[in-house]
Chains A and B, each alone.
Chain A
Amino acid sequence: MGRYIIHRVVSMVLTIFFIVTITFFLMHAIPGGPFTREKPLPEAIIKALNEKYHLDDPVWKQYLDYWKDLLRGDLGPSFQLKHRSVNELIGLGFPITAKLGMVSILFTLLLGLPMGIISALRQGKWEDYTTMFIATLGVTIPSFVLATVLIYLFGVVWKIFPVMSSKLTRPIEYVMPVIALSGYSLSFIARLVRSSMLDVIQQDYIRTARAKGLSELRVIYKHALKNAVIPVVTYLGPLAAGLLTGSFVIEKLFSIPGMGGYFVNSVSNRDYTMIMGSTIFYSVLLVVMNFIVDIVYVLVDPRIKLVTVKEG
């Protein structure tokens, strides 16, 4: 286990290294730069700006300089928002996105798991058809359509929920963005749990549990559920990383100043440092989440042993 963790940490660091490198060179390969405008700036200004941000250095030198800063934890200044560093911007955007993400993860699990369980246990009954109808809609309707419909109906027509959720201070402001953000993952989990639950309740050990005289509730919640959530754990890593980094579309529609917006805008603005910063941030989050999921696996399924290839 100890060796496995060391092994994994090393490979995580390598992964991040390659992500940084590939993103850096790809980014510089795209035509245009941070100061390209529709109406070109005067030559002298561009020259001065390039000099200020060391964009006139050879790319390999910029790359090495970037690593020097990165290793100190400095993601550099933003090229677009003057007088702001990338660290500061992430520090501003991430907490908002994370708050929304956290609530969405909770919502996804607290609703998705029971939905899947109920429809599996009531297979072929109206409960099953209802939840699977909702889940199919959830998987097929894109989040921006769902968000727009929600805003129109609940925000504009019936005026139940606020249309702008920018502050996210009151619980009521979370309702619509959370539903729109977690609609897909919620439905996905419900379907995943349903199919794995249907598989598990056919297993011999469930019959054994019943033959012991356990109540049906205990059979399901003790013997079936733990086996049925194993596939959900796999999906949990990317899900958590995805929801925590937010969605550009949802943030835009609900005017939430989170990470998602920075991420997308930075690309179209060629805000080199912001692209790098948000990519690295997202990658680290994803890699760490996957690592946590692998550890959680061992806790859920005792058959899985974490070993490095050499040990095994």
Chain B
Amino acid sequence: MDKLLEIKNLHTSFFTHVGEVKAVRGINIDVYEGEAIGIVGESGCGKSVTSLSVMGLVPSPGKVIEGQIHFKGEDLLKKSEKEMQKIRGNKIAMIFQDPMTSLNPVYTIGDQLIEPLRIHKNMDKEAARQKAIELLREVRIPDPERRLKQYPHEFSGGMRQRVMIAMALSCQPELVIADEPTTALDVTIQAQILELMKELKEKFNTSIMLITHDLGIVADLCSRIVVMYAGVIVEEGAVRDIFYNPKHPYTWGLLKSIPKVNMTSKERLVPIDGQPPDLLKPPAGCPFVPRCRYAMRICQQQHPALYSVSENHRAACWLLDSQAPPVEWDREGVSLK
């Protein structure tokens, strides 16, 4: 498989009046053709900023300050705004978190759906309308001819997210970035939307970058997972690796905070105590230290490199160093061997 997107050493900062907030601090992510990759982490860990950096839409006062973003071999960071406009919505499309606010309330669904088709594919109005009807059918919106003339407020949340998906897929992009696409939806609708995304991915062979804080939803759709914390990647690997052989204490924490189906009502979820560090003054060592039960002296002083666990599985944790005491993870808990 070929690399479709290659993010190399990306640094994105926000230059606020209190100082530079380093939201993304040197991350490397590869996305292969036809692959779905999940980027997981809690709020404020830099997931969304990464996706906006790829789109070239980091809002002011944010700025990509270092790194490369290669898309099909070309560096997106070197492209002009005009060139980026030809890529956005056409080669790389985005689905956003809140479908209730992501559609313009004063234009019809049809009007908003045909827009990318008109500008990227030079379709005339009628052809674009026909295509829009087809797209709505594709995302299973009943009665598309009538729905096309309606406004966003006449759609439910799940239906709006279907519209957003249809809009993202309209120009058959090679990469779809889905930023928390199901977070604002209730659970049954979440499952439907994920199912739909999975199906469309197979059908159009689109690569997907799924950004979420919920490990549960990536398992089904993605083949690889990247775990981010405080603007850096702490662990990456195949879904199996992350779920069955996680190596980073933060990933352990994330896994333990997922409710299990067979939980009894007495059992409690285990949260990760504490707060992520202030990225205005990122720590010199591992950013997870204050919340980590296994922190050692070295963790405070030096940021760990990514240790290879297996071929595609890497984690940035000193516990993986040969000099560290062995720590073993199992579903029930973590124990020192």
Does A pair with B?
A: yes
A residues in contact (CB < 8 Å) with B: 203-205, 207-216, 222-223, 226-227, 300-303
Closest to B171 in A: A213
Closest to B111 in A: A222
Contact B106 A227 (CB under 8 A): yes
* Complex Cα–Cα for A53 and B65 (A): 85
* Complex Cα–Cα for A212 and B103 (A): 12
Closest to A225 in B: B106
Contact B106 A300 (CB under 8 A): yes
CB distance from A260 to the nearest CB of B (A): 37
CB distance from B231 to the nearest CB of A (A): 21
Q: Which residues of A have CB within 8 Å of B104?
A: 205, 208-209, 223, 227
Does chain A have a CB within 8 A of B85?
Answer: yes
* Complex Cα–Cα for A5 and B84 (A): 49
Contact A210 B88 (CB under 8 A): yes
Known: A205-B102, A302-B106. A212 touches B167 (CB 8 A): yes
* Complex Cα–Cα for A226 and B151 (A): 14
Chain B 75-95 interface mask (CB, 8 Å, partner A; 1/0): 000000100111111100110
Q: Which residues of A have CB within 8 Å of B116?
A: 212-213
Q: Which residues of B have CB within 8 Å of A303?
A: 105-106, 151, 153
Q: Which residues of B have CB within 8 Å of A223?
A: 104, 107
CB distance from A188 to the nearest CB of B (A): 23
Contact residue among A205, A210, A214, A215 (Cβ-Cβ distance under 8 Å from B103): A205
* Complex Cα–Cα for A216 and B88 (A): 13
Known: A223-B104, A301-B106, A302-B151. A211 touches B88 (CB 8 A): yes
Q: Which residues of A have CB within 8 Å of B133?
A: none
Which among B84, B87, B101 has the highest number of chain A CB atoms within 10 Å?
Answer: B101
* Complex Cα–Cα for A190 and B1 (A): 55
Closest to A230 in B: B106
* Complex Cα–Cα for A215 and B96 (A): 19
Contact A212 B98 (CB under 8 A): no
Closest to A229 in B: B106
Contact A212 B115 (CB under 8 A): yes
Contact A226 B98 (CB under 8 A): no
Q: Which residues of A have CB within 8 Å of B85?
A: 213-215
Give 13 pairs: A residue, B residue, CB < 8 Å, sorted on A.
A205-B102, A205-B105, A207-B57, A208-B94, A208-B103, A211-B96, A213-B86, A213-B89, A216-B81, A227-B106, A301-B105, A302-B153, A303-B153
* Complex Cα–Cα for A98 and B105 (A): 36
Known: A213-B87, A301-B106. A204 touches B101 (CB 8 A): yes
Contact B102 A204 (CB under 8 A): yes
Does chain A have a CB within 8 A of B258?
Answer: no
CB distance from B283 to the nearest CB of A (A): 31
Q: Which residues of A have CB within 8 Å of B101?
A: 203-205
CB distance from A118 to the nearest CB of B (A): 17
Q: Which residues of B have CB within 8 Å of A203?
A: 101
Closest to B55 in A: A211
Q: Which residues of A have CB within 8 Å of B87?
A: 213
Does chain A have a CB within 8 A of B303?
Answer: no
Known: A302-B106, A302-B153. A207 touches B88 (CB 8 A): no
Known: A204-B96, A204-B98, A302-B153. A212 touches B105 (CB 8 A): no
Q: Which residues of A have CB within 8 Å of B55?
A: 211
Does chain A have a CB within 8 A of B131?
Answer: no
Q: Which of B96-142 contact A (CB under 8 A)?
A: 96, 98, 101-108, 115-116, 119-120
* Complex Cα–Cα for A257 and B84 (A): 59
CB distance from B150 to the nearest CB of A (A): 9
Contact B153 A208 (CB under 8 A): no
Chain B 195-217 interface mask (CB, 8 Å, partner A; 1/0): 00000000000000000000000
Contact B120 A213 (CB under 8 A): yes
CB distance from A123 to the nearest CB of B (A): 10
Q: Knowing that A208-B102, A222-B107 touch, tell me 5 more A-B residue pairs with CB under 8 angstroms.
A: A203-B101, A208-B94, A209-B115, A213-B84, A213-B119
* Complex Cα–Cα for A211 and B93 (A): 7
Q: Which residues of A have CB within 8 Å of B105?
A: 205, 227, 301-303
Which among B89, B101, B103, B106 has the highest number of chain A CB atoms within 10 Å?
Answer: B106
Contact A207 B89 (CB under 8 A): no
Closest to B91 in A: A213
Which among A208, A209, A216, A227 has the highest number of chain B CB atoms within 10 Å?
Answer: A208
Q: Which residues of B have CB within 8 Å of A222?
A: 107
CB distance from A106 to the nearest CB of B (A): 24
Closest to B98 in A: A204
* Complex Cα–Cα for A222 and B112 (A): 11
CB distance from B139 to the nearest CB of A (A): 16
Contact B57 A211 (CB under 8 A): yes
Q: Which residues of B have CB within 8 Å of A301?
A: 105-106
CB distance from B195 to the nearest CB of A (A): 23
CB distance from A213 to the nearest CB of B (A): 4
CB distance from A124 to the nearest CB of B (A): 10
Q: Which residues of B have CB within 8 Å of A215?
A: 85
Q: Which residues of A have CB within 8 Å of B81?
A: 216
Q: Which residues of A have CB within 8 Å of B102?
A: 204-205, 207-208
Q: Which residues of A have CB within 8 Å of B153?
A: 302-303
Top 8 closest pairs, chain A to chain B, by CB: A213-B89, A213-B88, A212-B89, A204-B101, A205-B104, A211-B94, A302-B151, A204-B102
